[in-house]
């Protein structure tokens, strides 16, 4: 069995479903596909250390994502090669590559961003993956995750994972993204709180839950 996780940016897959990735990776292949390096002007201004070139930042994000993947047990991490803005840069070659990956790995489960996410790139990924799955008439399980620190979607989750054992791996993987340390210092306590809150709601120490599309 194989699961594919689609993420707009490096670290989104860890924030959104890092515990679930680690849990699933114990029994099956998990492939992570990242759309954007986040190496545009905004990415450079908010990255550490400062004054990196775009090329240096791209290499750093690939290195960090691969390290995080090793911690979580990811089979393979693939970058589509978009530099920054997904809406502007996504093209037919990227679309064909995604379709090829789905046809190659034949995943039984696919995870990607919710349409309730507030980031424009996350919403773009939701629309792109939905369109491709419809074109391919994909019949497997489909789940969406939110990067928002608190849930906006008021529906009942489609699936809930107890990630109590895996949550420390999620935090360890998240800390691999040293180039985003400024954001992580702010987000990490809130990500921890979200995991605890989701867990208590369903009787676990830590949980991650996902919606349908």
CA–CA gap between residue 72 and residue 89 (Å, rounded): 29
Confidence of residue 40 (pLDDT cuts 50, 70, 90): very low
Please determine, for residue 127, whether its predicted confidence score (pLDDT) is greater than 70: yes
Looking at residue 42, its pLDDT comes to 47
- pLDDT tens, residue by residue, 48-103: 556 677 788 889 889 999 999 999 999 999 999 998 789 999 999 999 999 999 99
Strands (E), the chain: 2-9, 29-36, 76-82, 109-113, 141-145, 159-162, 207-210
Residue 114 sits at φ, ψ, to 5 deg, of -75, 155
Report, as an integer, the average pLDDT of 138-142.
Answer: 96
CATH 3.40.50.10320 fits 2-210, yes or no: yes
Q: Are 173 and 68 in contact (CB under 8 A)?
A: yes
């Amino acid at each position: 069995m194989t699961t594919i996780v689609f993420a707009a940016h490096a670290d989104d897959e860890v924030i959104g479903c890092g515990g679930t990735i680690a849990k699933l990776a114990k029994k099956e292949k998990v492939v992570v596909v990242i759309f954007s390096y986040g190496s545009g002007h905004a990415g450079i201004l908010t990255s550490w250390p400062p004054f990196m070139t775009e090329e240096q930042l791209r290499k750093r994000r690939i290195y960090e994502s691969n390290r995080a993947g090793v911690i979580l047990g990811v089979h393979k991490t693939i970058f589509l090669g978009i530099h920054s803005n997904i809406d502007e840069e996504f093209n037919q070659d990227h679309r064909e590559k995604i379709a090829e990956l789905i046809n190659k790995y034949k995943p039984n489960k696919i995870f990607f961003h919710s349409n309730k996410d507030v980031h424009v790139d996350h919403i773009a990924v939701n629309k792109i993956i939905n369109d491709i799955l419809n074109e391919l008439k994909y019949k497997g399980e489909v789940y969406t995750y939110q990067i928002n620190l608190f849930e906006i979607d008021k529906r009942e989750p489609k699936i809930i994972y107890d990630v109590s054992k895996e949550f420390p791996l999620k935090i360890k993987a998240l800390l691999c993204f040293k180039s985003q340390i400024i954001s992580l210092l702010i987000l990490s306590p809130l990500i921890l709180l979200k995991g605890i809150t989701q867990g208590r709601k369903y009787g676990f120490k830590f949980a991650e839950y996902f919606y349908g599309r």
